[in-house]
Structure 1
Amino acid sequence: MRERLPAALLALLLAVCPSLAVATEPTAVVVEPATEEEDSEASEADWSPGYLEVPGQPVEVSEGGLKVTVVNSVLRPPGGYIPLEVVLFNPGSTPRSVSIRVESVRVGRAQVSTRQVEVGPRQRLSAWMPVPSTAEGGLVRVNSPGSSIQPFNFYSVEPVGQPVLVLGSEEAFQSGTKLPRVKNKPRLAVRFIPPQDAPRELALYVGHRVVMVAGDVTALPADVWSALESYAATGGYLALLRPPRDVAARLPLLTQTPMGVLPYGFGWVRVCGQARECGEELLTDVKLMEDPGVGHVGVITPAGPPPSWQRGPFGSNNLLNNSEVPLLPGVQAPVGRFLLLITLFVLAVGPGGLMLARRKGPVALLIAVPSVALATCLAIVAWSVLVEGFAIHASRYSLIWLDRDRDRALMVGLGGYYANLEPEGLHLPAQAALIGPDLDWESQAMEADWTNGMAVTGSFLPSRTYREWGEVAVLPSRARLTVRREGEALRVQNALGAPLASGYLRLGGKLWRLPALADGAEGEATLAPASKDEVSFTSVVDFSAVARRRFSRVSWPSLSEPLPEGGFAAKLEGPGLLPSVALPVELHEGVHFVQGRVDGP
């Protein structure tokens, strides 16, 4: 009976669940691996076509007649700077001077950002502090005479989805895009900022892949719109959900009908029409930005030092992060040579000292050891002074768009620096910004005062350390190229502020070759060959392969178009036109591409 019981139970189970029946012969189960297309479709299906707000948690403190509010969690952009808002309110009847100090930290290193502001009577002021996007958090200290305010802590939030900075309310954003608010894996991570409190400086927008104006553009303060237009012109992506009727006048670099996504300087502008179409197209653009072949939009990419575990012994590894090559040759301290001198010193005072003590006695040893040490130190100092010197060595590259109608220059540049002694500092205006490597905190750990533009006060270029800095700027400029006719000849005067190496201009329906001219010099242009009708970037200036990779994210659509009538494209040499030209350096290489319209007959 006991032997038959298992067989009866199995028969009953198969009768109730026939699907469990199997063949008597064992069969192998083969799982087909998913193809790459199926994997990408599955991963794409995980994302929700909507957005999620990343709100901060405001912390308020009132002390000594001053009210301070700091948002302790802020959305982190892919690069550039995190805009950290410190709101100050003075309920009194007299103005107050306030000092703000932000100490942002990561892995034990700190960057210090300071700003001095004055808050008027019964005034509410939003003071924005730029924090490197690599920062994980930090401390905010606010000081004012008569007030003792406790420090605030803050931390940065890694976005799920593409981070988007929106100037406007959530209602205006939903009305302009028709995108739903979702909870899981949103395509967009959104931070909303009231337009009247928006940042006024270019540095606070640089690094954001998408900046959007959700409300009425005409209601924006003039300095806010100026910073947004500069952001788009220097490589950003600016979306206008409710474009004004005079959008072409407000965006003077537009050359096409203001609708859809349009090239604008080094960046792009999306002028929306129908709300639902705008939302869908925005998601498509964001998906393209996530493509490794496209990457960031228009942001220069300086290279940082390699991780510590990738560095060779005694600094012998001369490669940067991602195996990039430095822009400067021989950018490391001569550790090997110094190590040789130290080894010779050890041999001289070790075995050599023992031999000297046996032959001449201990008195000779007391004289010889300090003498050998002094000679070794003098040899190291002599090598540093005579071979390397005290100067800053640099290579600089830039793209320049001269907007002659508004007398300004739009610039995107890059510099590789090696300083034997750390410089005192550098000052940049409000519509200019330094950009460090996206993933490298070490290169961005510096001290800066943002009271009037950006004044770098320390750790910008540490001694005997190679550093790369990107730079964007929109600055007033009187740089120009002047032409005049003398009979059949065409005379050219270089007033570009730098030596002119070569280039082309189109005038009278003909293409002319520019002569090499020093700054302020004048020469005669010659007709270009008839076969050379179009001018490309590589036909004017050819950056090295190492430098071109740093500019791979920067787009300049007009480079692929023929020169317009009265237009020119030229190669400049020297330090360039960026604000960092104020830093005295010994230039290893300076190559700059400039495009604009000539001043002529």
Structure 2
Amino acid sequence: MHERLPAALLALLLCASPALAAFEPAAAVAVPDEEESAEGEEGSETLNKNWVPGYQEVSGQAVNVSDGDLQATVVNGPLRPSCGYTPLEVTLHNPGPTPRTVSIRVDSHVSMGRAGVTTRQVEVGPRQRLSAWLPVPISGRGGMVRLDSLGASFRPFSFYSVDPVGQPVLVVGSEEAFQSGTKLPRVKDKPKLSVRFIAPGDAPRELAAYVGYPMVVVAGDVTALPADAWSALEAYASTGGYLVLLRPPRDVAGRLPLLARTSSGVSPNPYGFGRVRVCGKAEECGSGLLSDVNLMEEPERGHVGVVTPAGPPPSWQRGFGSSRHLLNDGEVPLVPGVQAPVGRFLFLITLFVLAVGPGGLALARRRGPVALLIAVPSVALVTCLAIVAWSVLVEGFSVHASRYSLTWLDRERDRAVTVGLGGYYANLEPAGVRVPAQAVLLGPGVDWDTQFPDADWTNGMVVSGGFLPSRTYREWGEVAVVPSRARLTVRREGQGLRVQNALGAPLAAGYVRSGGKLWRLPALADGAEGEATLAPASDDKISFSELVAFPEPVKRRFSRVPWQTLNAPLLEGGFAAKLEGPGPAPTSALEVELHEGLHFVHGRVDGP
């Protein structure tokens, strides 16, 4: 019987072969789903190989609410960038004859709690349609939107943001203009680009709406953009963004003032700390965009900004071994000694336990229970006073900080383009901080699951709370384009060169090229004058890194800074200076106890 069993099984398989063949198409269809699941586990590197060279639109969904003669439309499901803020558009229409003031509030949430409150107050004139933009921190994937106006009651509603499939791209212009300028097809699956289109007339007027996107494309006529919207776009490019002009105007050099100073003659052109692509032929522009997107990608993290502050470690890592002293990705804090003195406090508590336990028992035996009732509260009071005295006398009530920045000084237009980074430890939370419209505070990134501060965007960004929680280490990045009267003045004195420091901070070292020669700057206090000395020929090869000497953890946080542009030899009249102190970024007005302040300024001198 055992000899007949193999023959019977063979016959059964031969008879079942038609049925098996019938199932082959279904099995073939199921294979791609398994492959896609495997691709998701392997990370973005595998997905990149299967992306389709095209784009997919993320249009969102309009939610209409109204009360009386005031109407509001919120575009739900906006495209979520890779860092910074998700711009949430609220369109208000007032068909009535009187102006209306509308307060907009967004309560966003993250997996570990509330991400912060974003508010804005706008005035809508009679028979006016207005687009108001609220920069919602990307740590909040959703939340509630509330509108309030005198005499009107709007129902609150929830909002959500959409994660990109490919690289997130913001396009100012129509889809037709984007297609004709790039010749990129619209695809359904695995697009290389996830695109959100914005009407030019409704384009955001603030840097915060653009700063998180790795690429912003102006698809239409640049001259048709509102002046303040173009200022925000130019600030985006100069502070580390990638701006693409599909239809560049004739006066492109006048509209992009840093183009001639940093351009290398290749496309995309370096522009300040960012890049600009001035398109010619549509096919070349589209293929260039796709190749540039490949360079933007980072395995498992996607695109990150020009400055990337380090956040706290993931919640599942906290409290395990040495990781409780480190930040995300194993980074170390920029301010030393930011952990609470747990060891010293435990020592005081141990002394208290010994005094109350064995000491209290001995006291009760010798003096009686009445003495124990007096001694225990007294010892507890002394222990509490010792802990408070340590906090006051050793740590104090100040904010401890380390600050670093890079600045392009545009003297022709009296402005400073700054990319900054700060590490802070506050024993008591400060009242808040204010930054202008063309400046932005940047948190650690998309995976940050801690609370984001409350901010009012009515006039720039005003942080009202949560900026620096007490006894918590925080890092903030800054990008800013702000007016500045800072300058470095030089004048000839015989065969020498005299320098006046008006940069607003102590000058530690630097170089200036004047008269075809390279001069070494002396160390000068702010407002002081001194004699420059001729630099040896070997100093012509000194790089930015050698001049500023940022610590290695700081260099990693400035991972996308265009070092090759900063390391280029100085042109005639150009200078590079190393400064100390709080630096030129907008948050330098915050009173801190500075542990370290290093800043690099690149610009042109005033004088011959």
The 5 Å alignment of 1:201-280 reads 201-255=206-260, 256=263, 260-280=267-287
Q: Counterpart in 1 of 2:418?
A: 411
CA deviation string 1:278-319 (max 9, x = no partner): 111101111111144996365200001112332236998321
Q: CA deviation at 1:257?
A: 8.2
Q: CA deviation at 1:538?
A: 2.1
Q: Counterpart in 2 of 1:471?
A: 478
Q: Counterpart in 2 of 1:166?
A: 171
- Could you say what secondary structure the match of 1:317 adopts? helix
* d(CA) in 2 for partners of 1:393, 1:504: 31
Q: CA deviation at 1:340?
A: 2.2
Q: Counterpart in 2 of 1:29?
A: none
Does the alignment pair 1:95 with 2:102? no
How many percent identity over aligned positions? 73
* d(CA) in 1 for partners of 2:359, 2:302: 60
Contact in 1 for aligned 2:583/2:597 (Cα 8 Å): yes
Q: CA deviation at 1:359?
A: 2.2
Does the alignment pair 1:299 with 2:306? yes
* d(CA) in 2 for partners of 1:5, 1:89: 81
* d(CA) in 1 for partners of 2:114, 2:6: 73
Change over 3 Å in CA distance of 1:80–1:12 after alignment to 2: closer
The 5 Å alignment of 1:109-128 reads 109-128=114-133
Q: Counterpart in 2 of 1:26?
A: none
The 5 Å alignment of 1:191-206 reads 191-206=196-211
Q: CA deviation at 1:136?
A: 1.4
Task: Supply the AA of the counterpart residue of 1:114.
Answer: T
- How many equivalent residue pairs? 581
Change over 3 Å in CA distance of 1:343–1:506 after alignment to 2: same
* d(CA) in 2 for partners of 1:301, 1:81: 14
* d(CA) in 2 for partners of 1:157, 1:9: 54
Q: CA deviation at 1:535?
A: 3.7
Q: CA deviation at 1:337?
A: 1.6
* d(CA) in 2 for partners of 1:12, 1:426: 77
Q: Counterpart in 1 of 2:521?
A: 514
Q: CA deviation at 1:3?
A: 7.1
* d(CA) in 1 for partners of 2:547, 2:440: 27
* d(CA) in 2 for partners of 1:412, 1:5: 76
Please give the TM-score of this superposition, normalised by the length of structure 2: 0.91
Does the alignment pair 1:75 with 2:75? no
Q: Counterpart in 1 of 2:183?
A: 178
* d(CA) in 1 for partners of 2:13, 2:125: 88
CA deviation string 1:480-500 (max 9, x = no partner): 000011111110000000000
Does the alignment pair 1:578 with 2:569? no
Q: Determine which structure has the larger helix proportion and give its number.
A: 2
* d(CA) in 1 for partners of 2:510, 2:278: 34
* d(CA) in 1 for partners of 2:306, 2:461: 19
Change over 3 Å in CA distance of 1:8–1:424 after alignment to 2: closer
- Could you say what secondary structure the match of 1:92 adopts? coil
Does the alignment pair 1:57 with 2:61? yes
Q: Counterpart in 2 of 1:485?
A: 492
Tell me whether 271-280 or 425-434 shows the greater mean CA deviation.
271-280
* d(CA) in 1 for partners of 2:9, 2:419: 82
CA deviation string 1:214-246 (max 9, x = no partner): 111110000000000000000000011111111
Q: Counterpart in 1 of 2:36?
A: none
Contact in 2 for aligned 1:540/1:571 (Cα 8 Å): yes
- Could you say what secondary structure the match of 2:540 adopts? coil
Q: CA deviation at 1:443?
A: 5.0
Does the alignment pair 1:386 with 2:390? no
- Could you say what secondary structure the match of 1:206 adopts? coil
* d(CA) in 1 for partners of 2:8, 2:366: 103
* d(CA) in 2 for partners of 1:409, 1:322: 32
Does the alignment pair 1:505 with 2:509? no
Q: Counterpart in 1 of 2:537?
A: 530
Q: CA deviation at 1:357?
A: 2.0
Q: Counterpart in 1 of 2:110?
A: 106
Contact in 1 for aligned 2:139/2:449 (Cα 8 Å): no
Tell me whether 256-265 or 582-591 shows the greater mean CA deviation.
256-265
Q: CA deviation at 1:45?
A: 4.7
Tell me whether 4-13 or 201-210 shows the greater mean CA deviation.
4-13
Q: CA deviation at 1:506?
A: 0.5
Q: Counterpart in 1 of 2:140?
A: 135
- Could you say what secondary structure the match of 2:345 adopts? helix
* d(CA) in 1 for partners of 2:475, 2:9: 80
Q: CA deviation at 1:505?
A: 0.6
Change over 3 Å in CA distance of 1:293–1:304 after alignment to 2: closer
CA deviation string 1:230-287 (max 9, x = no partner): 0000000001111111111111111248873100000000111111111111011111
- Could you say what secondary structure the match of 1:552 adopts? coil
* d(CA) in 2 for partners of 1:199, 1:356: 73
Q: Counterpart in 1 of 2:326?
A: 319
CA deviation string 1:566-586 (max 9, x = no partner): 101010000011110110001
Tell me whether 312-321 or 128-137 shows the greater mean CA deviation.
312-321
CA deviation string 1:152-205 (max 9, x = no partner): 211111111111001111111111111111111010000111111111001111
* d(CA) in 1 for partners of 2:170, 2:343: 49
Please report the RMSD computed on the Cα atoms of aligned residues, expressed in angstroms: 2.7
Change over 3 Å in CA distance of 1:343–1:40 after alignment to 2: closer
Task: Supply the AA of the counterpart residue of 1:421.
Answer: L
* d(CA) in 2 for partners of 1:40, 1:424: 41
Q: Counterpart in 1 of 2:352?
A: 345
Q: Counterpart in 2 of 1:287?
A: 294
Task: Supply the AA of the counterpart residue of 1:62.
Answer: S
Task: Supply the AA of the counterpart residue of 1:518.
Answer: A
* d(CA) in 2 for partners of 1:187, 1:316: 36
* d(CA) in 2 for partners of 1:575, 1:414: 11
- Could you say what secondary structure the match of 1:423 adopts? coil
Structure 2: runs of 5 or more not aligned = 22-42
Q: Counterpart in 2 of 1:438?
A: 445
Change over 3 Å in CA distance of 1:5–1:125 after alignment to 2: closer
Contact in 2 for aligned 1:258/1:271 (Cα 8 Å): no
Please give the TM-score of this superposition, normalised by the length of structure 1: 0.92
* d(CA) in 1 for partners of 2:380, 2:13: 96
* d(CA) in 2 for partners of 1:5, 1:474: 82
